[in-house]
Chains A and B, each alone.
Chain A
Amino acid sequence: MEMSRRTAAPVKRRHLLQDNPSVLWFMGLLGLFTLGVTVLSEGFGIGLISTNLVKILGMTLCLCLIAIAMDVVWGYCGILSLGHFAFFGLGGYAIGMWLMYARTEIVIRESLAGSTIPPTEREVSEAVASQIFSVVGSNELPLIWSFAGSLPFQLAMVVLVPGLLALVFGWLAFRSRVTGVYLSILTQAMTLALSLYLFQNDTGLRGNNGLSGLQNIPGALHVPQSVISVWFFWASAFALGAGYLLFAWVVSGKFGSVIRAIRDNEARVRFLGYNVEGYKLFVFTLTAVISGIAGALYYPQAGIINPAEIAPIASIYLAVWVAIGGRGRLYGAVIGAALVSLLSSWLTGGGAPNIDLGFYRIIWTDWWLVMLGLGFVLVTLFFPKGIGGLFDYLVRKQ
């Protein structure tokens, strides 16, 4: 990580794993974890872990994936983006449109199958539209839903929509040299604009109702959720593993050195002749695409997506996870995201017992956010390396 390796001999190309010994460890642990959850699940194993818990764990893996994306863009490249959860949400919306359309179409076709004359395509699509959009007082299919029935198209959208948005936004922002806190505020503004846009009823994504019923997978409507949950768990674990590998490769080698150098002193890198904007744009867009993919895996497990998920606060929580876990190391982001999100759902979901102090009763749902906020302040002030910093301590001790 040190910039000043002036006396370095001709750099010998090192292997990815030499640069990142954590990759092997991580892959091993992820594999074991996946195996363990599968064996204990209801769908494929002995049923010690409920379907609901499998879903929560799968969702947590998706959050870990977006957290490592955030870590690359912030911890490695120094861009504190407060917009990555917007990309996550866009990925969710893209896949959610297909899930909702295709499932409704199947239901409609089944209900029309009994009629004496087979329905025309137009009748089916009108019935689907009125089924989906009656909640916002419309019965027409908005233009952006034109290809919602096509899985390949919507899968492409999962990648393209966040990617293009990040590309355009990043190009505009980096080109005019918006950096530091200004960039953070600008990304937050983008997130706010997007969530306000989605909150409107007439923008074709059902306003604040969002998209629902996403846990029902068209084509597998008769497969029990206990099985589907494990499928998605596997997909999420695979995506996280692949994402980890990809990012480990991105941040190692010369490219990684350049983006770390940009983080530490952007002007110097520019004077050395590097196209700083190009590097930043690449990192920003790549992480946005990965965030979109993470979202596309997350929301079918969550079952519902609405604009509140995209609100600026969500992106800030993402930064909190990464900061607590430890910036500038991929496993730190995973630890932060997993720990904070699991702890949060345990404490606010009523899982934790309330503590009676006699004079006051500590109700975790009330006090968790206070604790998180103050804990976060403490981490920022005293442990800038986050939980991941503990590993340095352990390694140095040996």
Chain B
Amino acid sequence: MPRPALIATLALCLLVLWPLAPLSAQSDTPLQDVLQTVQEQVASPSRAQVGGVLDVLQEADAPGTAEFLTRWAEREVFERPEDGLFFYARDGADRTLTLIDLDTGEDVAEVTTRDVNQIRVNAGVRREIEGALVTFELLAPDRARRMAAVRTIARSPEADHIPVLESALSEEEDGAVATRMARVLDLLNARFASDSATRVAAIDALSGDITTEARRALNQILSTGSQFAPEIPEGTNVARIRTPGADLDLVDAYARLADADLVPPRPGRNAIRDALRANVSDGAVAGIPVHRLDTEEARREAYRLLQDEGIVPPLPTQAEMDAAVAQYVFFDAYLEPDADVTTAARAALDSTRTSVGIWQFVSLSLDALSLASIFFLAAIGLAITFGVMRVINMAHGEFIMMGAYTGYVVQTMIPDYTTSLIVALPMAFLVTFAAGVALERTVIRHLYTRPLETLLATFGISIALQQLAKNIFGTQARPLTAPDWLAGSIAFNDVASISTIRVAIFVMAIAFLLALLFILNRTRLGLEVRAVTQNPGMAASMGINPDRINMLTFGLGSGIAGVAGVSIGLVAQVTSEMGANYIVQSFMTVVVGGVGSVFGTLAGATLIGALQKGIEWFNPGNTLAAQTFMVLFIILFIQFRPKGIVALKGRAAGD
């Protein structure tokens, strides 16, 4: 018995004697040393002996074992004959190899290909190694590695994994890992188990599971293929029989028969044209002059004449095609021959349908809610300037843009995203508040009696501001990056999830709503604002300065637009045109909700957000169509409820 083999045997004995070898962490024994104990079996592996090597490796659990096993199977391990040591290698110049140490990963020596032996692994050994690799990881002491191994199996399921996973499951002590293993085992059994009872049981266990992997496995079991035959063969698991002319196009059915060489192919329009073209003689085809062949009927007629002469393959008549197709049964058959399995899978899939539907609805609602928050944020400033003051501010969108650019500038100066966001929010408010006050003082106050001209003048401001932003920041989009703690997403399951940033925006929208309600209803300023809105003359005679109030109100609305700009900038791109994208929708939000009411704006935003997402659901991936229909809906909605959802009544209505 050669010496290494002896050592291996000894090692095996040790294994048996020490079944409770330390499991807590990987041992510190270098891999090379472990391998040297079974040097010969590693260097020239055979199927009979490889099992022993794998056991040794698994027990020693040296660092890098998994990588070694992979590369061993891929024939990427080399042996140096002088000392019997193993190395990885990388191609060097001039057909040389650079040997790499197994444990340290350092370059060891430069050799020619003749100096080392590449270890040949045959297909049988390779399969053993790959199986062991899975087992190796499934039995790893580290919980995370076991979980990763289960995940790998779930990603590329194979029949071979079933026994491995079963044995691993029987030894698993961690509850969560065991549950996960059992679920993956169900997935494997459902598709690959040998007897139908096990499969049906596994499928039943999967019923009601709405994870993507479970539904994918079930759908795979239920995959079908179209077939046809004179009569349905014995043992076919038929999913559906197709009736030509009803749910199967006659021409398609005939073409499929032709593809199988059962009937002569039916020449299509192009084939007829080519055949005619090939048989033109003296400016005519079969006696019909060429210039008359500019209709389908004439061409078919000419073709039939050619056919009578036997020059071209026959063109089957409708009756012939009907007769040919009628001789066969066309059906979809499950690729899975076992009917019990497919029935169970169908039932299991159906059982998930309701809960998948409910979760899809939840997901859609979350999307709608997040879109509604964005609309609300964009429109809430307008709810003040337009809703309360009845001032049309077409530059509102540019205030949003200004806020977003403020956020961007702050971010370039303060590198920490969290701090910069905290600084940017009040900064944006201040900047746009100032801009709003300036706009009110210089332009809008002169136009309180001419609302249509306010629209025009503020539009002029909007053009100028947009172009100014373009001149300063350029046309390309600027990033406004959210801090890392806002970057992830909250997943309820495989169907429904929402990104954290959208939750943050939702929270922001709520905060805005509350703050605004507080200011308008509970503060001196709010009281004065409402007084000036309802009756400026009376308010003035009660000692309120309407000029000051108008200025502050407009500033407040603009400032809120600025803060909204920062939040919108986090989810959308910051460009000079970003405001223009929101302005029409914002106005519609306010109008649909009901002018003059903060709750109205909320209702409007919710309605528009829900509507847009709802329409998108019917027509997935087509946001433009959803927007089109949404605007149409709003136009119609205003017909029937011109004052919006929340219509003010009495004196507050202002008319």
Identify which of B294, B451, B464 gathers the most chain A CB atoms within 10 Å of its CB. Answer: B464
Say yes or no: A200 contacts B622, CB within 8 Å.
yes
**Interface of chain A residues 149 through 181 with chain B (CB within 8 A):** 169, 172-173, 175-178, 180-181
Say yes or no: B452 contacts A185, CB within 8 Å.
no
Q: How big is chain A's contact interface, by range? A: 35 or more
With A120-B294, A122-B296 as known contacts, state yes or no: A184 contacts B455, CB within 8 Å: yes
Residue of B nearest to A190 (CB): B635
Residue of B nearest to A182 (CB): B591
A197 adjacent to chain B (CB < 8 Å): yes
With A192-B631, A367-B471, A377-B443 as known contacts, state yes or no: A320 contacts B624, CB within 8 Å: no
Residue of A nearest to B395 (CB): A373
**Interface of chain B residues 259 through 305 with chain A (CB within 8 A):** 273, 276-277, 280, 285, 290-291, 293-296, 299
Mask, A305-325, CB within 8 Å of B = 1, is 000000011001001100100
A210 adjacent to chain B (CB < 8 Å): no
List residues of chain A with CB within 8 A of the CB of B460: 320, 372-377, 380
Shortest distance between the CB of A315 and any CB in chain B (Å): 11
Say yes or no: A373 contacts B294, CB within 8 Å.
no
List residues of chain B with CB within 8 A of the CB of A319: 456, 459
CB < 8 Å: which of B285, B293, B457, B628 contacts A380?
B457
List residues of chain A with CB within 8 A of the CB of B634: 189
List residues of chain A with CB within 8 A of the CB of B627: 192-193, 196
A381 adjacent to chain B (CB < 8 Å): yes
Task: List the count of A-B residue pairs having beta carbons below 8 Å apart.
Answer: 149
Say yes or no: A373 contacts B293, CB within 8 Å.
no
Mask, B572-587, CB within 8 Å of A = 1, is 0000000010001001
In the bound assembly, the distance between CA atoms of A120 and B269 in angstroms comes to: 11
CB < 8 Å: which of A116, A119, A189 contacts B280?
A116
Shortest distance between the CB of B73 and any CB in chain A (Å): 45
In the bound assembly, the distance between CA atoms of A89 and B451 in angstroms comes to: 28
A186 adjacent to chain B (CB < 8 Å): yes
B463 adjacent to chain A (CB < 8 Å): yes
Say yes or no: B290 contacts A366, CB within 8 Å.
no
Say yes or no: A186 contacts B638, CB within 8 Å.
yes
Mask, B446-462, CB within 8 Å of A = 1, is 11000111011101111
Say yes or no: A373 contacts B462, CB within 8 Å.
yes
A369 adjacent to chain B (CB < 8 Å): yes
In the bound assembly, the distance between CA atoms of A115 and B293 in angstroms comes to: 12
CB < 8 Å: which of A173, A188, A197, A384 contacts B628?
A197
Say yes or no: B294 contacts A381, CB within 8 Å.
no
In the bound assembly, the distance between CA atoms of A16 and B640 in angstroms comes to: 41
Shortest distance between the CB of B494 and any CB in chain A (Å): 30
Mask, A228-242, CB within 8 Å of B = 1, is 000000000000000
With A117-B290, A181-B392, A373-B460 as known contacts, state yes or no: A200 contacts B635, CB within 8 Å: no
List residues of chain A with CB within 8 A of the CB of B273: 117
Residue of A nearest to B633 (CB): A193
A392 adjacent to chain B (CB < 8 Å): no
Say yes or no: A370 contacts B467, CB within 8 Å.
yes
Say yes or no: A369 contacts B639, CB within 8 Å.
no
Mask, A107-135, CB within 8 Å of B = 1, is 00000000111111110000000000000
In the bound assembly, the distance between CA atoms of A208 and B291 in angstroms comes to: 41
In the bound assembly, the distance between CA atoms of A137 and B315 in angstroms comes to: 33
List residues of chain A with CB within 8 A of the CB of B443: 377, 381
Identify which of A169, A188, A377 gathers the most chain B CB atoms within 10 Å of its CB. Answer: A377
Mask, B387-414, CB within 8 Å of A = 1, is 0000010100000000000000000000
In the bound assembly, the distance between CA atoms of A366 and B470 in angstroms comes to: 8
A80 adjacent to chain B (CB < 8 Å): yes
List residues of chain B with CB within 8 A of the CB of A279: none
**Interface of chain A residues 357 through 389 with chain B (CB within 8 A):** 366-377, 380-381, 384
Say yes or no: A117 contacts B293, CB within 8 Å.
yes
In the bound assembly, the distance between CA atoms of A182 and B632 in angstroms comes to: 15
In the bound assembly, the distance between CA atoms of A152 and B179 in angstroms comes to: 73
Shortest distance between the CB of A303 and any CB in chain B (Å): 25
**Interface of chain B residues 605 through 649 with chain A (CB within 8 A):** 622, 624-625, 627-628, 631-632, 634-636, 638-640, 642
CB < 8 Å: which of B455, B463, B635 contacts A172?
B635
A199 adjacent to chain B (CB < 8 Å): yes
In the bound assembly, the distance between CA atoms of A173 and B634 in angstroms comes to: 12
Residue of B nearest to A207 (CB): B624
List residues of chain B with CB within 8 A of the CB of A116: 277, 280, 290
With A172-B635, A184-B452, A376-B456 as known contacts, state yes or no: A381 contacts B446, CB within 8 Å: yes
In the bound assembly, the distance between CA atoms of A182 and B591 in angstroms comes to: 8
CB < 8 Å: which of B457, B587, B591, B635 contacts A193?
B635
B466 adjacent to chain A (CB < 8 Å): yes
B468 adjacent to chain A (CB < 8 Å): yes
Residue of A nearest to B274 (CB): A117
B190 adjacent to chain A (CB < 8 Å): no
Say yes or no: B293 contacts A118, CB within 8 Å.
yes
In the bound assembly, the distance between CA atoms of A120 and B299 in angstroms comes to: 9
Say yes or no: A384 contacts B463, CB within 8 Å.
no
In the bound assembly, the distance between CA atoms of A329 and B276 in angstroms comes to: 68
Say yes or no: A381 contacts B455, CB within 8 Å.
no
List residues of chain A with CB within 8 A of the CB of B140: none
In the bound assembly, the distance between CA atoms of A176 and B285 in angstroms comes to: 68
Say yes or no: B624 contacts A372, CB within 8 Å.
no
In the bound assembly, the distance between CA atoms of A118 and B625 in angstroms comes to: 41
Shortest distance between the CB of A208 and any CB in chain B (Å): 10
With A181-B392, A196-B627 as known contacts, state yes or no: A120 contacts B463, CB within 8 Å: no
Shortest distance between the CB of B500 and any CB in chain A (Å): 30
Say yes or no: A376 contacts B638, CB within 8 Å.
no
Say yes or no: A117 contacts B277, CB within 8 Å.
yes
Say yes or no: B464 contacts A192, CB within 8 Å.
no
CB < 8 Å: which of B294, B456, B588, B632 contacts A118?
B294
Say yes or no: B294 contacts A119, CB within 8 Å.
yes
Say yes or no: B471 contacts A366, CB within 8 Å.
yes
Say yes or no: B463 contacts A376, CB within 8 Å.
yes
In the bound assembly, the distance between CA atoms of A189 and B637 in angstroms comes to: 12
Identify which of A188, A193, A200, A375 gathers the most chain B CB atoms within 10 Å of its CB. Answer: A193
Q: Which 6 A-B pairs have the closest CB atoms?
A: A373-B464, A376-B460, A373-B463, A193-B631, A369-B467, A377-B460
Task: List chain B positions with a Cβ less than 8 A from chain A.
Answer: 273, 276-277, 280, 285, 290-291, 293-296, 299, 392, 394, 443, 446-447, 451-453, 455-457, 459-468, 470-471, 580, 584, 587-588, 591, 622, 624-625, 627-628, 631-632, 634-636, 638-640, 642
Chain A to chain B contacts (Cβ below 8 Å), 7 pairs: A120-B296, A122-B296, A184-B452, A190-B631, A192-B627, A196-B627, A366-B471
Task: List chain A positions with a Cβ less than 8 A from chain B.
Answer: 80, 115-122, 169, 172-173, 175-178, 180-182, 184-186, 188-190, 192-193, 196-197, 199-200, 202, 312-313, 316, 319-320, 323, 366-377, 380-381, 384
Given pairs A116-B277, A173-B639, A186-B638, 13 additional interface contacts (CB within 8 A)? A80-B452, A115-B277, A116-B280, A117-B273, A118-B290, A122-B296, A188-B587, A190-B635, A192-B631, A193-B635, A366-B471, A373-B459, A381-B446
